[in-house]
Structure formats: C-alpha cells, structure tokens
Amino acid sequence: MPSIGGVAAGAMVLKDATFVTQRFEDWKAILRPKVQGTINLDRLFSEHVYSDEGPLDWFIGFSSLVACAGNPGQAAYGAGNCFLRALIRSRHNRGLAGSTIDIGRMVGVGYIESQMTVEGQDRLKFHSGTQSMSESDLHQLFAEAVVAGRPNSGLSPELIGGISLMNGEEAKDVVWYKNTNMGMMIRETGSRAASASSAGAGSLPLKKLLEAAKTMNEASKVILGVLRGKLQGMKFLPNSDSSHDNTPLVDMGIDSLVAVYIRSWFQNELSVDVPVMKILGGASIADLVESALEELPREILSGLDREPHGNGPVGICAQ
C-alpha cells in the first residue's frame, strides 16, 4: 500500500437549534466529529507516531465561515470548527503540516444544495453576508491551503473564502454586522454608502427594476447602471462616470476577491453564472452585461423585445 501523502478532515454533523433549546445529546453529536475526530487524526498523523512513513505533505481541516462570522442556530457547529482551527494551528506551530479552509455557501455541490431547505438557502443567500463558491473555487482554496500549511511556509494556516465585501447599508441585514472582527469587510457606512449604492436605482432588487424594461437595450442600461453603482460604491470607479464601462476590470484594480463578489452578485440578482476567469481575463463591465443578457432566465426575457435597437451589439449602450 502506498504511503499516505495528506489528510483532509471534512467530517460534519448538523443539528441546528438555538443555544437554549438544543439538547445536550445533539450538542455532543455535532462536536464529536470536529473535536474527537480531529484529535484522533492529529495523534495518528503526528510525526512522532507516523515517523516510519515520513511526515504528511498536507493536513487540511474543512472548517466553516460560521467559525469566524457566526450563524443563528449553529453555536455548537461554530464551536466545533473553532476547536478544529485551533488544533490544526497547533500542528502548524509544532512544525507539522496543517491548515484550515473556512468554506461558505457552495453552488451545485455539497450539503446546502442537496439537503438544506429553500428557506435555509434563502437565509444564507441574503442574510449571511457570504458569497457563493463553485466547485472550482473550492479546488483553488484547497490548493492554496496545501501550500500555506507546509511547515515554515511563512503563511497563515487559516484560509477564509466567501465573505462578501459590503457597504454599510447592505451590511445592516447580515448576521455579522455588529461583529467588530468583520469591520474590515464593510467599505462604507452611513449616507455615503447609501448614495453610492443608489446609482442603480436605490435598494430595489434588480429583477424588479428590469420589469420596466421593454427591450434588450433598456435591460442592458438597467443592469449596467446597477453594476456600475456597485463598483462605484466599492471605490473601483469614479462616481457618476460611465467612461470606464469598456475598460478591462483588471486594469481598474479588480482582484480575485472582488471578482468572486461580482460573480456572486450576478448569481443572486439575475441567476446568471459569470465565470471568475472571465472577469479577470480582461472583460469590462459592458462585456459582463452583454454576456449576462445572453443567459437571462426565461421569466425575465419574456417581457423583453429580443430585437436589438441600433447598430451595436445587444447590451452595449453608448451613453
């Protein structure tokens, strides 16, 4: 049998309940995989126990954003993940391979997609302050954890993926709004945030704004305006300026974290998947809008005249 190169600790039990109503048996059942399971793996794969095979290349614990951001009804699950993070950091400090990845809302695969109720998914989607992650995003996060978890890597062994960058008005509805540790994820507060986010017609959902659009070009203008307002609120675009609509986003300082936010925004607002690599591959906001128009759900397209107006491509509107 070949030697074991790495360990991924991904055991999980969920039995959501408020702290005061949770049964002790359920509390223990939730903690056991994260606490005793991780202790067992650490003992088995510590260097002094496993020296005959050599140290592991990686030891990665699957944690959750609940450990750093919290989530109603998941106190025990959050506590278990905090223990897992602490124990694996201890491995790292002992000169052994060890890292954790805090995973958020997965799209297309995983427990949330297959087991969670629609109400629970909506709560995570609109009130958790997290971004959706694809399977390829998870693969990338895992690969980075392999590198970060190596002894003497000089990197933090705790990787967090999926917390949204938000302005002050948006953040008021999420569960971690009053958590001072999350303050760095709020870009603006007060009237300035409200003003910046109003560029795309205030706080109305984008699908609601699109109900007034009669043509594809009108829909393009609506989506472009709201997306522009989002980026202006995050200070990647000058306020009240459309001259950068055709500028590659990477040239304006958009990094992978913001690209994931933009992708999540398209998914949440329009149910359209815009790949992160497209955003980082030289696309402008006008390019993204044109791409999104081609994939709009049928219920949105049903009210639009599919014939473009003017001589340019559908969805590109000169202003």
Q: Residues of the chain with pLDDT > 70: what percent?
A: 73
Given this model, what pLDDT does residue 19 score?
87
SS3 of residue 158 by DSSP: strand
Instruction: Give the pTM.
Output: 0.57
Residues 70-129: pLDDT tens digits? 888 889 999 999 999 999 999 999 999 999 999 887 777 777 666 666 666 666 666 666
Ranges of the chain with pLDDT below 70 = 1, 47-53, 112-129, 166-170, 180-184, 187-204, 235, 237-242, 303-319
* Gap between the Cα atoms of 208 and 237, Å rounded: 25
* Gap between the Cα atoms of 209 and 135, Å rounded: 31
SS3 of residue 251 by DSSP: helix
Given this model, what pLDDT does residue 120 score?
64
> Are the beta carbons of 223 and 206 closer than 8 angstroms?
yes
* Gap between the Cα atoms of 159 and 144, Å rounded: 8
The contacts of residue 261 (CB under 8 Å, 6+ apart) are 131, 164, 165
Walk me through the domains of the chain, giving residue ranges and CATH numbers.
6-160 (3.40.50.720), 190-301 (1.10.1200)
Residue 257 tokens read as: 């974290």
* Gap between the Cα atoms of 34 and 118, Å rounded: 26
The contacts of residue 107 (CB under 8 Å, 6+ apart) are 113, 132, 133, 134, 267
* Gap between the Cα atoms of 91 and 69, Å rounded: 24
Closest CA to 285 of 305, 257, 241, 271: 241
Residues 13-45: pLDDT tens digits? 989 888 889 999 999 999 999 999 999 999 988
Residue 314 tokens read as: 């559908």
Given this model, what pLDDT does residue 26 score?
95
